[in-house]
Structure 1
Amino acid sequence: MAEQTFDVHVEREFDAPIERVWAAWTTPDDLRAWWGPTGFSCPRAEVDIREGGSIFVTMRAPDEWGGGEYHSVWEITELDEPVLLRYIYRFTDADRNVITPAESGVPAEGIPDEAHHEVLLTAVGDGRTRLEMTEHGYTNEQTRDMSRSGLDQCLDKMAEVVSAQPR
């Protein structure tokens, strides 16, 4: 019998055109500006935007959380610029070697070794964009809810980036 899983699903509208929101997901400077929950920073972002390519990011915790760095690679499985980005999220070390969530230092219970994510963008008129994002595979509701909270904080930061910096 398959283990029950719980998904994060968020919908958000941004006051920015679809191309600007796409750029926020696919350019290093933009990723460094918004990746990570409130108080966290992203000192490293590398992108190879194509099917079979990847996005590599480093998230740094604030000093009060120990200042640790958490690395991940997003292996792109499908993309249709500027509307669809599907990827497999995996924790890595600083050299991009895949590790388990537990080896990364995050509280790992309920986090899958590889999580399938989907970002869907839709132009909704008046220069606005709707984002729908789904993260699949959490094995308990508490971990899903923690991830949802972190994602909401990241998207709050993204909203500031895309509305403040037209491309």
Structure 2
Amino acid sequence: MTEIGTLDLSTGRVLDAPPEEAWRAWIEPEQVARWWGPAGFTVPLADLDVREGGTSLLCMRAPAEYGGTDHWNTWTYRSITPYERIEFDLAFTAADRSPVSPPPGVPERVPHVVTLSPRAGGRTELTVTERGYRTDEARALSLAGLEQCLDKMAAMFPARTAG
């Protein structure tokens, strides 16, 4: 549930892959490691427990020019409909999963809704919605990072040529 006076964001891409392939980008550690984090960031750990009630642990490492620091978070899954929808709460943590304070204007748990919809030509429309930001700046920074993540994900699925 969104608090009164909070800000949400929603963005997406049309991926050159059927929903089954796009789905794997969210549930397979080696796939998540390819796209999670803004441009230049890497993912040294994606320990996924993708099931309702499960919690995944992810580490996003900043590039050297941004200090090379590790940023940890968990994704706790509320609802999963294979190939169609994932609902999870993202929380900022330490490597041992203990909570840490989120950046200013960001809620302690950021609700996410991911939807995958089949499109013509074996493509998938992906939409990601995040809820509960408390400042325009926090929302804008999160959107910018998410846009870069989704650009990296889209690049995983090169356009198919007619054969």
Please state which band the TM-score falls in when normalised by the shorter chain.
over 0.9
CA contact (8 A) 1:9 1:132 kept: yes
Query: What residue ranges of structure 1 are gaps of 5+ in the alignment?
Result: 102-107
CA RMSD of aligned residues (A): 1.3
Q: Does 1:115 align with 2:110?
A: yes
Q: 1:56 & 1:94 partners in 2: Cα distance? A: 8
TM-score of the superposition, structure 2-length normalised?
A: 0.92
1:152 aligns with 2:147: yes
Q: Which residue of 1 aligns with 2:97?
A: 96
Runs of 4+ in 1 over 3 A off after TM superposition: none
Cα separation, 1, equivalents of 2:28 and 2:35: 11
Are the equivalent residues in 2 in contact too, given 1:83–1:122 (CA < 8 A)? yes
Question: Across the two proteins, how many residue pairs are aligned to each other?
Answer: 157
Q: Distance in 2 between matches of 1:57 and 1:21?
A: 19
Alignment of 1:1-167 (within 5 A): 4-101=5-102, 108-163=103-158
Separation in 1 of the partners of 2:4 and 2:48?
33
The one-letter code sitting in structure 1 at the alignment partner of 2:154 is A
CA contact (8 A) 1:24 1:162 kept: no
Compute the TM-score of the two structures, normalised by the length of structure 1. Answer: 0.90
- How far residue 157 of structure 1 moved from its aligned partner, in angstroms, is 0.5
- Give, in whole Å, the separation in 1 of the partners of 2:77 and 2:141: 24
Cα-to-partner distance string for 1:108-154 (whole Å, 9 max, x where unaligned): 11011111110010001211000111000100111101111100000
- For 1:156, what is the secondary structure of its paired residue? helix
CA distance in 2, matches of 1:124, 1:153: 23
SS at match of 1:162: coil
- Alpha-carbon contact 1:3-1:139 (below 8 Å) kept: no
